[in-house]
Structure 1
Amino acid sequence: MQSRWPLWINGQWVNPDNFFSVTNPATEEPAFEVAEAGPAEVEQAVSAALTAFRDGRWAKLPPAERQARLNRFADLLEAHQEDLVAAEVRQSGKPRKLVHYSDFLFSVDNVRYFAGITRHLEGRASTEYNGIHSSFIRREPIGVVAGIAPWNYPLMMAVWKLAPALAAGNSVILKPASLTPVTALMLGPLAEEAGIPAGVFNVLSGPGRLIGQQLVAHPDVAMISLTGDTATGRQIMNQAAGRVKRLHLELGGKAPAVVFADADFEAAVQG
């Protein structure tokens, strides 16, 4: 497995000027060197995603074709299981058993779920309210979606951001957490091999306060999806309000673990 990871933009690896170190929290040893995107790389990714959306190379594909390519993507995740699991363990410090039987399998299943739902979109129709016209809802992709993922389930949360957005025909810019960006970057070439066109899926690693703010403020980004802390969610809501940008926010947490002095420490760690 390579130890140095560039950015994935417009179907190719991009090397910016700066890289940062990712540490394995279980060993406190350096695990990877990862590219740090700056304003220029964010602009490059947004431009690629918007161009891919406007020319219809993905959005205008029949739902059956998007379904087939997403299922191919899931097949490739399974084919590269060992590398993905190994990288996830190395960057997150999680037990291999947890990553394999929980995070990885759920990730593959999520891709297959949204592949299937592309051909089962809900639609509502009504009769003629005024006796002249019929009303109905038509579902269409909205454009460039920026997904900001957290550190706790790096691979699974990356998939949760990209799979539904791609299934609906959008272009995606994925911004993984700086603590755990590698498995998100690994998805880029697999998506390309599955037939997801260049520019439709991009991955930017680096500081959230810079990349996230630029994506939120960018006029060509139609939607922001964030899983993170409540304070960041408030900031994004404030920034997005000026353009009435669509938001999907999963904020805060409700699962604390308190370990007292008389606890069995090894059992608590395993639990």
Structure 2
Amino acid sequence: MQTQLLINGQLLTGEGPAQPVFNPALGSVLVEINEASEAQVDAAVRAADAAFDSWSQTPPKERSLLLLKLADAIEAHGEELAKLESDNCGKPYSAALNDEIPAIADVFRFFAGASRCMSGSAGGEYLPGHTSMIRRDPVGVIAS
């Protein structure tokens, strides 16, 4: 199982303390994952901030295609992801495989479509000769 952090296109081991992830059904440790250090969180935010200008200008078609690829990858790795979800949450494997994975892939497909048909629902003529509308633009990066 991959347990590293993806920071600026590179997989890195967390420099913070190791945190156990338990299988709640068995009480056993599935894996230990090192948390990100403060410096690694700062590096991830800086990398995301550096990518912000170009990513925020990515056309809806390209964003949609990336979300569809992600949905396809989730389905392609569905059995592996369902096993991980089952072990991590104590949920029956069949429920994770047949309920969770299709629903997760569907959410990405929904937003792939939604990203291509956003509208200015509050548009209108508020000043003579000028059309006004609400425009939603990305505003920046956060770490949470």
Q: TM > 0.5 between the two?
A: yes
Give 1:75's aligned residue: 72
Q: Distance in 1 between matches of 2:11 and 2:47?
A: 13
Gaps of 5+ in 2: none
Instruction: Look up the match of 1:100.
Output: 97
Q: Indicate the residue corresponding to 1:66 in structure 2.
A: 63
User: What SS class does the counterpart of residue 94 from structure 1 fall into?
Assistant: coil
Paired position in structure 2 for 1:45 = 44
Aligned amino acid, residue 91 of structure 1:
N
Instruction: Work out which of the residue numbers 3, 7, 10 in structure 1 matches 2:8.
Output: 10
Deviation (angstroms), 1:92: 1.4
CA distance in 2, matches of 1:67, 1:145: 22
State the distance in 1 between where 2:129 and 2:112 align: 37
Instruction: After TM superposition, give the deviation of residue 28 of structure 1 in Å.
Output: 0.7
Q: Distance in 2 between matches of 1:44 and 1:77?
A: 27
**Which residues of 2 match residues 54-203 of structure 1 at below 5 A?**
54=53, 56=54, 58-123=55-120, 124-127=122-125, 129-146=126-143
Deviations 1:217-248 (A, max 9, x none): xxxxxxxxxxxxxxxxxxxxxxxxxxxxxxxx
Separation in structure 2 between the aligned mates of residue 133 and residue 45 of structure 1, nearest angstrom: 41
Separation in 2, partners of 1:38, 1:74: 30
Amino acid at match of 1:52: A
**2:17 is the counterpart of 1:21:** no
The unaligned stretches of length 5 or more in structure 1 are 147-214, 216-271
CA distance in 2: counterparts of 1:78 and 1:137, whole angstroms: 36
Deviation per residue, 1:59-118 (Å, 9 max, x gap): 212111111111011111111111111111111111112211222111100000000001
In the TM superposition, 1:231-246 aligns within 5 A as none
Give the deviation of 1:122 after TM superposition: 2.0
Q: Note the C-alpha offset of 1:145.
A: 4.7
2: distance between equivalents of 1:92 and 1:11? 29
Cα deviations by residue, 1:32-60 (Å, 9 ceiling, x for unpaired): 12121121111111111111112x1x221
Report the count of equivalent residues.
142
CA RMSD of aligned residues (A): 1.7
Give the direction of change, closer, same or farther, for the CA distance of 1:13–1:132 in structure 2 (3 Å limit).
same
TM (norm. structure 2) is 0.88
Distance 1:130 1:67 in 2: 34
2:32 alignment partner, SS class: strand
* CA displacement at 1:133 relative to structure 2: 2.9
Q: Deviations over 1:149-170 (max 9, x none)?
A: xxxxxxxxxxxxxxxxxxxxxx
- SS state at 2:130 partner: coil
